[in-house]
Amino acid sequence: MKHLLSPLDFSTEELDSLFHLADDIEREPGKYAHMCAGKKLATCFYEPSTRTRLSFETAMLNLGGNVIGFSDAASSSASKGESVADTTRVICCFADICAMRHPKEGAAYVAASRSSIPIINAGDGGHQHPTQTLTDLMTIHALKGRLGNFTIGLCGDLKFGRTVHSLINALVRYENVKFIFISPEELRVPDYIIEMLKEKEIPYEEVINLESCIPQLDLLYMTRVQRERFFNEEDYVRLKDFYILDRAKMALAKQDCLVLHPLPRVNEISVEVDEDERAVYFKQVQYGVYVRMALILTLLELV
Amino acid sequence: MLNVGKIEEGLVLDHIKAGKSMEIYRYLQLDKLDCTVAIIKNARSNKMKKKDIIKVECDINMLNLDILGYIDHNITVNIIQKGEIVEKMALHLPKEIKNVIHCHNPRCITSIEQELPHIFVLADEVKEIYRCKYCEEKYSKKASHDK
Ligand SMILES: [Zn+2]
């Protein structure tokens, strides 16, 4: 039995088969509509994350399965002081697979170590959120047709953005990827990532200005600057509007430069960009469902 | 010097930093064993001036010595059979240590669930870096020595 706790739990070969399965689900959803009949997914969310939970639940329903669970700690036994380990043992009696979100780092690992059913980490604090990374990779695979051989720009909060760090760690496993990190000085990518890239001799650049580097990008990954990361409102206000992707900047980008964003966006991408064919952040949500469907089928060993 | 008799079969842990023997006694859980244990504190040493020594008369497989590598790899472990030293064991940093160091990351699951064991995994043998098995928080053994 396999769990998914970190994006690197799957080898690139395993990811390849997962993405090919998701491709097939996209092509012929009807073929998969009953594959999980009689199976139950438990969504155990100790903190609310409606988008992630709905994506998992949609994935299971699309496969003909059922869904049980809780959507915040107050409605779970955690409010009575039950441990993650005990809750997991109970859930194992109810469901066939479990997606868990928890504010504390390592919670999904605790669950997996006590579990008789596959556990999917749906986010454990600032630590890991592997299905977001799978969604990002799947979107690139599906719309770019390749993982590797491209220059990717990552823009915005590169310091605190867990999504960005996971994506970098996942992409370094592919051939010929060049990174351009676009951020204000205060939100630069952490040193440990730079050291890792140097060690692996992977090309990267750190820049402040988006306009000057946008023409060379094959992919642009935008992120939101999160208010909760800042101690004072002043810094937040100053940095949140540092990068706003608009039509004028998109005019400088390549004809096939895809724009991704983990959503929700605040104002870092102007709504006028939404009509641009290269803006794929809403398609990304759809690919998130396909890849979660493929993941559920794979972990339940139904394919 | 105080004289403690020879042992027939067991271990002699020599060159323990003076004063550290009781800590090692606890880590090796010698209190749980029904065998002869001698603890010599502040013995004279040419190399160290003062040192502690622990002698344990038991089947050596009953003890998990991994932790010694973590506590102090300068300890000499002599394995005794038929009253003679048959082997001097080299100590290495253990791959995993349990409940020896604690995770101080306030975002770690161990910060709210007290019954979880604190497990650290050796991430880099050369740099002596351990990481929390739950949250991957870094713990540098070298850095903690420098303090
Ligand atoms: Zn920890």
**In the structure encoding, which two tokens stand for residue A107, read together?**
């919670």
Model confidence band, residue A283 (pLDDT cutoffs 50, 70, 90): very high
**What are the tens digits of pLDDT across the range B104-130?**
999 999 999 999 999 999 999 888 899
Residue of chain A with shortest Cα separation from B117: A110
The two structure tokens encoding residue A234: 């002043």
Nearest alpha-carbon partner for A289 in A148, A139, A163: A139
3-state secondary structure B31-47: HHCCCEEEEEEEEEECC
User: Which of B115, B120, B121, B135 to probe by mutation at the A interface, max A CB count within 10 Å?
Assistant: B135
CB contact under 8 A, A125 and B135: yes
Interface test with B, best of A104, A228, A229 (most B CBs within 10 A): A104
B101 in the same domain as B76: no
User: Nearest-CA residue of chain B relative to A82?
Assistant: B113
Tokens at A40, concatenated: 């139950």
Is B92's pLDDT higher than 90? no
Q: Is residue B121 domain-shared with residue B65, that is, in the same domain?
A: no
Q: Complex ipTM above 0.90?
A: no
Same domain, B85 and B104: no
The CA distance from A169 to B113, in Å, is 29
pLDDT of B47 reads 84
* CB contacts, 8 Å: A103 with chain B: 107
Shared-domain flag, residues B60 and B82: yes
The reply to whether B46 and B116 lie within a common domain is no
Which whole number is the average pLDDT over B22-48?
A: 90
Domain boundary among B52, B68, B89: B89
CB within 8 Å: B109 and A83: no
**Is A27 one of the catalytic residues?**
no
Give chain A positions within 8 Å (CB) of B136: 105-106, 127
pLDDT for B19 beyond 50: yes
Partner-chain contact B135 A84, CB within 8 Å: no
B135 contacts in chain A (CB < 8 Å): 104-106, 125, 127
**Residue A278 bears catalytic tag:** no
Tell me, yes or no, whether B2 lies in a domain. Answer: no
| Segment A252-277 mean pLDDT | 96
> Which domains does chain A carry?
7-129+288-299 (3.40.50.1370), 131-284 (3.40.50.1370)
**Rounded Cα distance, B26 and B10, in Å:** 18
If one counts the domains in chain B, the total is 2
Q: Are residues B15 and B85 in the same domain?
A: yes
b/e B40-59 (16+ beta carbons within 10 angstroms → b): bbebeeeeeeebbbbbbbbe
pLDDT digits (tens, 9 = 90+) for A6-39: 999 999 999 999 999 999 999 999 999 999 999 9
pLDDT band at B144 (very low <50, low <70, confident <90, very high): low
Average pLDDT, chain A: 95
CA of A109 to the centre of ligand 1 (A): 11
- Judged against a pLDDT cut of 70, whether residue A48 lies above it is answered with yes
**Cα B138 to middle of ligand 1, angstroms:** 9
Question: Could you tell me if residue B54 is inside a domain?
Answer: yes
Domain span at B128: 96-146
Q: Note the pTM of the prediction, 2 decimals.
A: 0.88
Task: Identify which of A84, A124, A125 has the shortest CB distance to residue B113.
Answer: A84
Contacts of B126 in chain A (CB under 8 A): none
Question: Domain holding B114: CATH number?
Answer: 2.30.30
Q: Are A177 and A171 in contact (CB under 8 A)?
A: yes
Asked if pLDDT for residue B5 goes beyond 80, the answer is no
- Are B44 and B66 members of one domain? yes
